[in-house]
Structure 1
Amino acid sequence: MAKAARKAHQGVPPAGASDPAPLDADDLRSLAKDQENGAAPSTPGSATERKINVLRKRRYDAIRRGGAAERSQHAKGKLTARERIERLLDPGSFTELDMFALHRSSNFGMEERRIRGDGVVTGWGTIDHRQVFVFSHDASVFGGSLGEVFAEKVTKIMDLAVRTGCPCVGINDSGGARIQEGVVSLAGYAEIFYRNVESSGVIPQLSLVVGPCTGGAVYSPAMTDFIFMVRHIGYMFITGPDVIKVTTGEVVNFDDLGGADVHNQRSGVAHFISDTEDEAFTQIRELLSYLPANNRERPPYRPSLDDPHRSDPELQSIIPDNPNQPYDMRAVVARILDEGTFLEVMPFHAQNIICGFGRLDGNTVGVVGNQPRVLAGALDIDASIKAARFVRFCDSFNIPLVTFVDVPGFLPGTDQEYRGIIRHGAKLLYAYCEATVPKLTVITRKAYGGAYDVMCSKHTRADYNVAWPTAEIAVMGPQGAVSVIFKRDIAQSDNPKRRSEEL
């Protein structure tokens, strides 16, 4: 009894006492209202209650530290760090870690500017009742710049995500390294990069870019599995417009240099694009609905009302009679997958190949397909890189692959040869050969040359290959074959063009 009394006197609840309830959103609103109205804090009746009151006050101060900067974020059309987490996760599911963390720097007067949280909000919650870990840069604190403690908070979350086998989502809105802290800020980045690599293929890693992400900071999102960007507020680049102007004389703005459209269409750095942050949160939630929590689990099953044994007459007429007439491979994919389940990845980059997630009889599958509407579906460098990375991701996370083939070959030309089509094309071949997940291939029309082999042919150990009646599997197309086999005959003809057409 005396021992319990001493604990109570010291502000520590005796064994069996209930823990203080966590401060939820209603508590914060009530406390904020009381303080704004000038209400005096209640006088607690015990040391424990006083300490609980102090804890709640500190939590309130930490959360409200955005203050005027919060209004500044809203004025820019942007959400705050905590608002982003609240909208991404299931309501009321977020548990924050290290809310009171403070930086340890004393350089340049930093000891007078210690702010709880140190510019990043970290913790875990749920999306569709499945646990995820999340960190969100707080641009209202030191511009969201990364320092030593900031990095420690992020790496702690990443370690917990791997240890518990849960996805990790990073929300990026940062001014880069905290210069006042010197090289330790760079060390912090390197610690994060290392964990990105260690986590690769173990848990899904997703990055959302809703602010500046520049210099060395871009490498962390670049090593994650999927990048989401919001137009006009998210930017990624190594060297900024000012430095480019000084060093090269080139004048470029943020959007044209590293905006969402640039990275979704031209560079292929990003995978998804949206006009608003809320739209990006919806995309993240949808993507995670297709993915397992880690590489030891199977993807989530979602019951489907579609009959797996159904027939679809539309598929009989979807391939044109003219072998040179294009069609939309998405229409084929949509009719075979469960209704309304296709989520395309990188839809605006390398559009001559389609990659995305869908479901067959409720089971997640990864879809790869040539797109005859763009470059006749030929494989080029960008398409090979795009598809290879997607195939390797699916293989890492136990997602079966379904490949739809209509490929006339690799895109010819000096530009492709000079830029390394041989090396990059081999990446897709390697990815398919390496994959150990179930692989199904459907040849809808053309499957010519080396591209036939590359597109998950049965010789690369695809598990099940189907050729539609419209399929044409050959070393090359008829025109090319005639020009090679009958080269002398055509050359000696009085009318080579007509002779070629006859043959």
Structure 2
Amino acid sequence: MSKQVEKIKTLVEKREQARLGGGLKAIEKQHARGKYTARERIDMLVDEGSFEEYDMFKLHQCHNFGMEKKQILGDGVVTGSATIDGRLVYVYAQDFTVNGGSLSLTMAQKICKIMDLAMQNGAPIICMNDSGGARIQEGICALAGYGEIFERNILASGVVPQISAILGPCAGGAVYSPALTDFIFMSEGTSYMFLTGPKVVKTVTGEDIDAEHLGGASVHATKSGVTHFAAKDDTEVLTLIKTLLSYLPSNNTEEAPRLQNEDPINRTSDLLNEILPDDPNQAYNMYKVIGEITDNGEFFEVQPKFAKNLITGFARFNGQSVGIVANQPQAYAGVLDTNASRKGARFVRFCDAFNIPIVSLVDVPGFLPGTGQEYNAVILHGAQLLYAYGEATVPKITITLRKSYGGSHIVMGCKQLRSDLNFAWPTAEIAVMGASGAVAVLSAKEAKMKKEAGEDVRAFLAEKEEEYTNLFANPYQAAQYGYIDDVIEPRNTRFRICRGLAQLAHKRQQLPAKKHGCMPM
């Protein structure tokens, strides 16, 4: 055997050794937990044969606590480039079979290299988290590693899409990297995110709680809003990531892929002419409206289980990727609150950062009143949504279906926030407030006098409410002032959106020169 052949054989053996990570027993334990290994996850996510691994032979440099005897090739993270549907991506997956996926300085260096390459080459970053946290044996060096990763998350924000998949534990400082990314996916039953685990919580506060109820996928999908997608297992997480990527551009200088569209842009929907109840206080399902206007009725919802009174997600119009923000009358009558406001603001800002037009479907009676909202800073959260719409320079189209009252009218993409096209259905009610609230203020003195005179106050108030409704609760006064560009027949909504997007395809709008704005937090 020649020396060259012998060296090649050594290379092959080392690669095989590296691919085993922590060894066969550790892999079996990973499978027994219902989890895939880092390499299996990457293979499931990317195009077959496209993954090119970097730093497979890198080792940690720690010599404390016997760590010099625990050297494993790759040091607990698999990093590299690949393609998904033919498009370049950069991927890293923490390997729980190696020291519990704990983060060392070497691991951080590998991750940072991938992130730097992603920014340099304008491609999305996908990270798969499955780690016990910082490698304690490395002390401050492990913390420095986290800091390096966080800084790159910040630098990459708004430059390339960043996607986190939480496929195991993610605790302590480790949670801040996914929190800084654009989208978080969690796998139910096997993934957790929390700053302090159940044992620490019990020691410090006395509260007895398990990991699932403290920071499981369901908690973060429904209560905190930390995660955008909760999937049943690893396989569904990876499938959802692929779907999400299909709606996104690779970086902030490109547009999202445009798909071939066979759904006619002038397709009408008679259902939309009948979808609204006669009673303006009766709910209807906004998802049905979305399904009638998007290409083939398809809609990829973001944060479907959190703040259900506001719907956010991606769809296509004539093959073009678009972000949809819509009030949902079936959830709290579609009012805005703290959670809905921050959900909407985050989504609008992402769309604006990555050149994705925004279509808003408005039916909002106002902001949710009460001390609970006021004490939880609904003013600031509402201002975040207002700021996001006002700052956005992408094409913005707003359709008012029914109610659009007061401050919530302004917040939901009104003309004064530089919305490009504002359409209204004939059923739109655009006013400072609803008829009953307005009459209670405007006619309070007269109502009091009639009550004292023994007259029928209810009939009087009903008459005044009808008068107010006829005068203000319609789209025509707003159209009279040019705040609505056109009152449209509901059945033509899809066509007007498609045509509007075509008109705005080359829109150019600049913000005043500044280092950055100071968004209310």
Consecutive unaligned residues of structure 2, counting only runs of 5 or more, are 465-521
Which position in structure 2 is the counterpart of 1:108?
A: 65
- Please say if 1:154 is aligned against 2:115: no
SS at match of 2:49: coil
Paired residue type of 2:4: T
In the aligned structure 2, how far is the partner of 1:102 from the partner of 1:411? 55
AA in 2 matched with 1:499: F
Matched residues, percent identical?
A: 55
Q: AA paired with 2:169?
A: P
User: Which residues of 2 match residues 380-459 of structure 1 at below 5 A?
Assistant: 380-459=337-416
Structure 2 residue 241 is matched with structure 1 residue 284: yes
Q: 2:139 aligns with which of 167, 182, 196?
A: 182
Residue 49 of structure 1 is matched in structure 2 by: 5
Q: Are residue 62 (structure 1) and residue 18 (structure 2) matched?
A: yes
Q: CA deviation at 1:109?
A: 0.8
Task: Report the secondary structure of 2:66's partner residue.
Answer: helix
In 2: Cα distance, 1:482 partner to 1:134 partner: 59
- Looking at structure 1, the residues matched to 226 and 82 of structure 2 have their Cα atoms a distance apart, in angstroms, of 28
Match of residue 13 from structure 1? none
Q: Give the superposition deviation at 1:64.
A: 1.9
1:273 to 215, 222, 230: 230
- In structure 2, the residue matched to 1:234 is 191
Matched AA of 1:487: A
Structure 2: distance between partners of 1:118 and 1:340: 46
Among candidates 248, 257, 280, match of residue 214 of structure 2: 257
- Local SS of the residue matching 2:295: coil
SS of equivalent residue, structure 1 residue 74:
helix
Q: Runs of 4 or more off by more than 3 Å in structure 1?
A: 495-498
- What's the CA shift for 1:312? 1.0
SS in 2 for 1:252: coil
Once the two structures are superposed, residues 202-232 of structure 1 have per-residue CA deviations (whole angstroms, 9 ceiling, x without a partner) of: 0000000010000000000000000000001
Count of equivalent residues: 459
Q: Matches of 1:273 and 1:111 in 2, distance apart?
A: 39
Cα offset, 1:340, TM superposition: 4.1
Q: Which residue of 1 aligns with 2:503?
A: none
Structure number with greater Rg is: 1
Matched, 1:329 2:277: no
SS of equivalent to 1:69: helix
Q: How does 1:97-176 map to 2 (within 5 A)?
A: 97-176=54-133
Q: Please, which of 456, 460, 463 is the counterpart of residue 417 of structure 2?
A: 460
**AA in 2 matched with 1:478:** A
1:339 aligns to what SS in structure 2?
A: helix
2:266 matched to 1:309?
yes
Partners of 1:474 and 1:377 in 2: CA distance: 16
Alignment check: 8 A CA contact 2:290 2:297 kept: no
SS for the counterpart of 2:400 is: strand
Secondary structure (helix, strand or coil) at the match of 2:296 reads: coil
Cα distance in 2 for residues equivalent to 1:394 and 1:161? 20
Helix, strand or coil: the match of 2:268? coil
Q: CA deviation at 1:498?
A: 3.8
Q: Are 2:457 and 1:496 aligned? A: yes
Q: Which amino acid aligns with 1:377?
A: G
In 2, Cα distance between the equivalents of 1:320 and 1:208?
Answer: 41
Deviation at 1:390, TM superposition (A): 0.3
1:4-30 Cα shifts (integer Å, max 9, x gaps): xxxxxxxxxxxxxxxxxxxxxxxxxxx
Counterpart of 1:208? 165
- Give the Cα separation in 2 of the matches to 1:303 and 1:295: 22
Residues 217-228 of structure 1: matches in 2 within 5 Å? 217-228=174-185
Question: What does residue 469 of structure 1 align with?
Answer: 426
Question: How many angstroms apart in 2 are the aligned matches of 1:134 and 1:427?
Answer: 32
Task: Please give the alpha-carbon distance, in whole angstroms, between the structure 1 residues aligned to 2:203 and 2:397.
Answer: 53
Residue in structure 2 matched with residue 243 of structure 1 by the alignment: 200
Q: Deviations over 1:144-187 (max 9, x none)?
A: 00001010000000001000000000000000000001100000
Q: Partner amino acid for 1:297?
A: E
Is the partner of 1:84 in helix, strand or coil? Answer: helix
Distance 1:500 1:155 in 2: 66
SS in 2 for 1:146: coil
SS at match of 1:124: strand
**Distance in 1 between residues matched to 2:297 and 2:15, nearest whole Å:** 43
* 3-state DSSP of counterpart to 2:237: helix
| Cα deviations by residue, 1:236-267 (Å, 9 ceiling, x for unpaired) | 00011001111111000011000000000000
Contact 2:362 2:400 in 1 (8 A): yes
Structure 1 stretch 486-495 or stretch 368-377: which is displaced more?
486-495
Higher mean C-alpha deviation, range 350-359 or range 61-70: 61-70
Code of the aligned partner of 1:269: V
Q: 1:48 and 1:426 mapped to 2: Cα distance?
A: 67
TM-superposed CA distance for 1:372, in Å, is 0.5
Give the root-mean-square deviation of aligned CA atoms. Answer: 0.8
**Which amino acid letter does the alignment assign opposite residue 398 of structure 1?**
N
Letter in 1 for 2:138: E
- 1-structure distance, mates of 2:257, 2:297: 16
Name the structure, 1 or 2, with higher relative contact order (CA <8 Å, separation 6+): 2
Residue 420 of structure 1 and its aligned partner are, at CA, apart by: 0.9
Residue deviations 1:439-466 (CA, integer Å, cap 9, x gap): 0000000010011011000111100010
Q: Secondary structure of 1:409's partner?
A: coil
The structural deviation recorded for 1:341 is 2.6
Matched AA of 2:29: S
Distance 2:448 2:288 in 1: 43
Kindly provide the CA deviation profile for residues 106-153 of structure 1, in whole angstroms up to 9, marking residues without a partner as x: 001111111101000000111101010000000000000000101000
Q: Following the alignment from structure 2 to structure 1, what is the Cα–Cα distance between the partners of residues 371 and 163? A: 36
**2:440 alignment counterpart:** 483
1:334 shift after superposition: 1.2
Aligned to 2:511: none
Q: Which runs of 5+ in 1 are unaligned?
A: 1-43
| One-letter amino acid of the structure 1 residue matched with residue 378 of structure 2 | I
Distance in 1, Cα, partners of 2:70 & 2:236:
35
